[in-house]
Structure 1
């Protein structure tokens, strides 16, 4: 339907491929002449480009976290889905690792999850077509950003049911890890609102799948951390949404009071969106902010008293703001622009996102905050909000086994000298969380081993490993998270 940037204009703006024509399996080397080694294998013919220039490799050796740097030998800029199939068949035949969940420049991978040392990274930015929008769904390429989809659906009065707070992310990359936002209590994660996928497995096979067709691959790929295949196209749910959003924020002096109100609100469902934050308090410590949003049609505003009258926040701190639905979903864009202008966005991001059992949430979150200072955060936000475990259906998005789960995130901005210290803190926090039955979010910056991943998936590990063997038996896909030794 629409294509924000044509393949031709995108390719014209990038460094041309070097004269690399072949690969030597025995030497594990890329060659400029096919006959330079007796076993030289010519590269497959492509509609797009395979890039070898240093600038292109350097871009692929970084991510949003700016912590891990693994340099590939090539970057595929596909001109078609067939290019990805060809490269994956080639990589599978010669055991070349492939970074399969990355769209360079539009990923929130913070610890090298989408990078690949001495392999091939696929940049999905050139496959970004919105193919169709109908009454209840949209068919999109994996390189489409959520902001582009919203720009197309908002004039039609439609939106995906769930969105991340930052919508300048690729759809394929988000679906590979889960995707969570303030609508999770009502609609689950982004992976819970997908109707169909087209996936290219580690063997280079293109499979169309859904809950009723190749359901095992469909369920595995959603939140599967890029281990089973590369999502190249998705049909995502759309729902009708009014054109306006009324946003309420207010402060609480105590965490337990914020959480009590949040749990009341996800039970009765009076709001369409709900999150919460910890903010530095004057004189030290933290205060707690609720953020709740009600969608409404223009000229039919909600009843403020009915929505907020029984909540226990400090009344003098209540603020009410009206935005268009699109402006609300894109509300952090001005903040991101500011952070970029002052250089903070370019700093390392040793982020940690956690899923905390509801029964342990108050004590665990408070204990972590008691050991966290504003300087540790570097101006980054701290997120605290609950959702219903039953709303999340993707099997490999590991969550605590309790009815209510809290997302608790420390989204730090850190100068390079303190990154190692903060990563060690992340590991210590995670170990405490793990012992309480909590789980990490896959995109987090936590030092992790294959044994940790085995523990993370728990009873689902045998199924995870079996599907890996079935769809990516040579384990070429997405080695960055180190799930398999």
Structure 2
């Protein structure tokens, strides 16, 4: 039986340096948490939601403090060992994996420190659902939340963080007061607009290139008690986009998103989701809210729920189960791009003309919704040069052993990235040159960056 320890947890102040035999880790610094080489821990962080890339690290850091992360970053820098943070593992291209490096398991730092009337201090590994519940106890909530609240604070701030309220408040990264960041040199630095402002600007939305976020002070706004959700149906993409742009610009609703769905024998249809938050007995007036819109009359779906219930609508209740959800084990070759509003209709129409339900796979979908670009203020978040940014996400899924289908979906995603770039669009939360240099190439990276588009080129302008 091997005598190799699976965890190193020499505490700060203990004498001497530690070695993890058989893993090339010597002189490991003292930690408040632990460095694990347990096979189960290594396997857990060698996958993500995308299930397309699997890289086994040398070790996993379970940090007991932000100082642990700084120590391991310095340790890795001195020895040429890459160090990568991992939140909830919801990336789809292996961005949070690194072969023969060290993965920092950020959920080990998940404390929500204090909630004030207009801000909350949260560790980067805390889930947004936990932040929301902590804030709701004081009658407040973060201004922008992702649809899926089991994502981590540090994870979404590192990519930007888009939600249904972004048309009013921008990215989640636009709604933070200050951050604690471990820089690539291993320094633990507090930054804000007024203190180390260059780092504060650099780290938001840059996917870890300029440091690892370990804590954030997040803005809060007053919460409401009820949510009224309107689902409006459209047959015409142009009318759908025009109404979305109108609502996003006017601020009639607190939450505006939308999607396309395929109806057999009919083709693509469009659903605009518009939600009002309010406190009874006051009621939103549907005649005022829906005035002038071009949706199909009589097909509206209107429902009222609690405020928290609406925000948690896509976050499943976690139950103990011996069998994992098969869909979670699928590959998810997703593609999210941000398009200039003036060209969005033409490009989306061209993509959907060539897209069949089988091209999405089980549980797949298509997201479409606009954000006034002026709301996206953080300097390094993805943005386009247009008054309106249109989020276009093709969410694909395939059984992880269906390699031919996954390959076909990856090629289609590469085409979409290329088409978006050709009209001035950008990728959101996808691969960057930073990932190429640090982690090694994804099988489709060179195509995503360099490949000419096979998507038909459309440049008919539509003003949002």
**TM-score normalised by the shorter chain: which range applies?**
0.7 to 0.9
Which of 426, 431, 441 aligns to 2:418? It is 431
What's the counterpart of residue 210 of structure 1?
A: 192
* CA contact 1:116–1:480 (8 Å) conserved in 2: no
Change in Cα spacing, 1:207 to 1:301, as seen in structure 2 (3 Å) is same
Is 1:88 the counterpart of 2:77? The answer is: no
* Alignment partners' CA distance in 1, 2:207 and 2:379: 12
**CA distance in structure 2 between the aligned counterparts of 1:152 and 1:480, rounded to whole angstroms:** 40
Which position in structure 1 is the counterpart of 2:453?
Answer: none
Q: Does the 8 Å CA contact 1:115/1:480 hold for their aligned counterparts?
A: no
Quick one: which of 72, 82, 90 aligns to 2:57?
72
Work out the CA distance in 1 between the residues paired with 2:5 and 2:346. Answer: 55
TM-score, normalized by length of structure 2? 0.87
- Matched-pair contact (CA < 8 Å) for 2:9–2:34: no
Question: What is the 5 A alignment of 1:9-20?
Answer: 17-18=6-7
Aligned Cα root-mean-square deviation (Å): 2.6
Indicate conservation of the 8 Å contact 1:345/1:413, yes or no. no
List runs of 5+ in structure 1 lacking aligned partners. Answer: 1-14, 22-29, 454-474
In structure 2, the partner of 1:472 is none
Match of 1:377 in 2: 360
Q: What's the secondary structure of 1:333's corresponding residue?
A: coil
Corresponding position: 1:177 with 2:166: no
The answer to whether the 8 Å contact 1:99/1:479 transfers is no
**Is contact 1:249-1:289 (8 Å) kept?**
yes
CA distance in 1 between partners of 2:369 and 2:234 (Å): 14
Q: How does 1:1-16 map to 2 (within 5 A)?
A: none
Whether the 8 Å contact between 1:20 and 1:33 is mirrored in structure 2 is: no
Listed as ranges, the gaps of 5+ residues in structure 2 are 11-18, 450-464
CA distance in 2, matches of 1:62, 1:272: 35
Residues 336 and 48 (structure 1), Cα distance of their counterparts in 2 relative to 1, 3 Å cut: closer
Q: TM-score, normalised by structure 1?
A: 0.83
Shift in Å, 1:66: 0.5
Matching of residue 110 in structure 1 with residue 97 in structure 2: no
Assess if the C-alpha contact under 8 Å between 1:17 and 1:49 holds in 2: no
Matched, 1:421 2:408: yes
Q: Hey, what's the Cα distance between the residues in 1 that align with 2:22 and 2:129?
A: 43
Q: Which residue of 1 aligns with 2:13?
A: none
- Partner Cα distance (2:229, 2:189) in 1: 42
- SS of the residue 2:330 aligns to: coil
Q: Secondary structure at the match of 1:168?
A: coil
CA-to-aligned-CA distance 1:83-124 (integer Å, 9 cap, x gap): 111111111111110112x12xx2321001111111000001
Q: Distance in 2 between matches of 1:351 and 1:88?
A: 30
C-alpha displacement at 1:346, in angstroms?
Answer: 2.0
Aligned pair count reads 427
Aligned to 2:202: 220
Distance 1:298 1:150 in 2: 21
Q: Deviation per CA, 1:239-292: give whole Å up to 9, x if none.
A: 112211110002101111111111111121111110011011130521000100
Instruction: State the Cα deviation string for residues 400-442 of structure 1 (Å, max 9, x = none).
Output: 1001110000111212321111011111111111111111002
Moved over 4 A (4+): 18-21, 334-337, 478-484
**Cα deviation, residue 297, structure 1:** 0.3
1:58 aligns with 2:43: yes
Partner of 1:461: none
Q: Hey, what's the Cα distance between the residues in 2 that align with 1:319 and 1:188?
A: 27
Match of 1:349 in 2: 332
The one of 240, 247, 262 equivalent to 1:280 is: 262
**In the alignment, which of 27, 30, 52 is matched to residue 45 of structure 1?**
30
Equivalence for 1:308:
290
Q: How far did residue 311 of structure 1 move?
A: 1.2
Matched, 1:260 2:242: yes
